[in-house]
Chain A
Amino acid sequence: TQLLEQSPQFLSIQEGENLTVYCNSSSVFSSLQWYRQEPGEGPVLLVTVVTGGEVKKLKRLTFQFGDARKDSSLHITAAQPGDTGLYLCAGGTGNQFYFGTGTSLTVIP
């Protein structure tokens, strides 16, 4: 069962552009995480959001958790080639995590 839908699935942009990635669900999660994964490596945790409406910033990355704790967004300002990778959102509930299918981002120099 795919509980988390991410959009877009693929994104290719020029260096310096801004972008937003979305993670949507019909389910409520007690927390939501964002990960970045580079080819051949495991996902690396970027941020965890737990409170509805919460906004967290990590340098040029801004994460927002929806008020109802069902959705989240990741906004990148002035993207750089080092931002290239697969971005995954994950919702935690009970003893499990549910992962979105990911957004593959390519930033062209």
Chain B
Amino acid sequence: DVKVTQSSRYLVKRTGEKVFLECVQDMDHENMFWYRQDPGLGLRLIYFSYDVKMKEKGDIPEGYSVSREKKERFSLILESASTNQTSMYLCASSFSGDTEAFFGQGTRLTVV
């Protein structure tokens, strides 16, 4: 079975902190994605990566950056956390862009 693991289930951070969300997949997938999910807004793509060291902006990249130094690991970085970044963050991976995506369990981030 494909496994996508996010480093934390719950995080509470202070405004202005630098926050790292880690995601690891074990299926040698090329593509990895970071989404945030908010009530009424659905899943919104923040960044995705189709290869090591490659990254593409999604729909809402402002305030975020990503890092993919190894194929299996995709990190999301909040440079200076703000309260409007309180959300559920979901990492996903897929073999290609038009095969199915597999999700991690999610990280519920609260910025106070």
A14 contacts partner chain B, Cβ-Cβ < 8 Å: no
Min CB–CB distance A87 → chain B (angstroms): 12
In chain A, positions 30-63 with a C-beta closer than 8 Å to chain B are 30-31, 33, 35, 40-45, 48
Q: Give the CA-CA distance A62 to B92 in the complex, in Å.
A: 25
Knowing A96-B48, A99-B42, A100-B42 touch, does A42 contact B103 (C-beta < 8 A)?
Answer: yes
B52 contacts partner chain A, Cβ-Cβ < 8 Å: no
Name the interface size band of chain A.
20 to 34
In the bound complex, residues from chain A placing their C-beta under 8 Å from that of B31 are 95
Give how many A-B residue pairs fall within 8 Å (CB-CB): 66
Q: Give the CA-CA distance A99 to B43 in the complex, in Å.
A: 7
A101 contacts partner chain B, Cβ-Cβ < 8 Å: yes
Closest to A95 in B: B97
Q: Which of A41, A48, A100 contacts B100 (CB 8 A)?
A: A48
Instruction: Name A residues whose Cβ lies closer than 8 Å to a Cβ of B.
Output: 1-2, 29-31, 33, 35, 40-45, 48, 88, 90, 92-97, 99-102
Instruction: Name B residues whose Cβ lies closer than 8 Å to a Cβ of A.
Output: 4, 31, 33, 35, 40-43, 45, 48, 50, 56, 58-59, 90, 92, 94, 96-106, 108
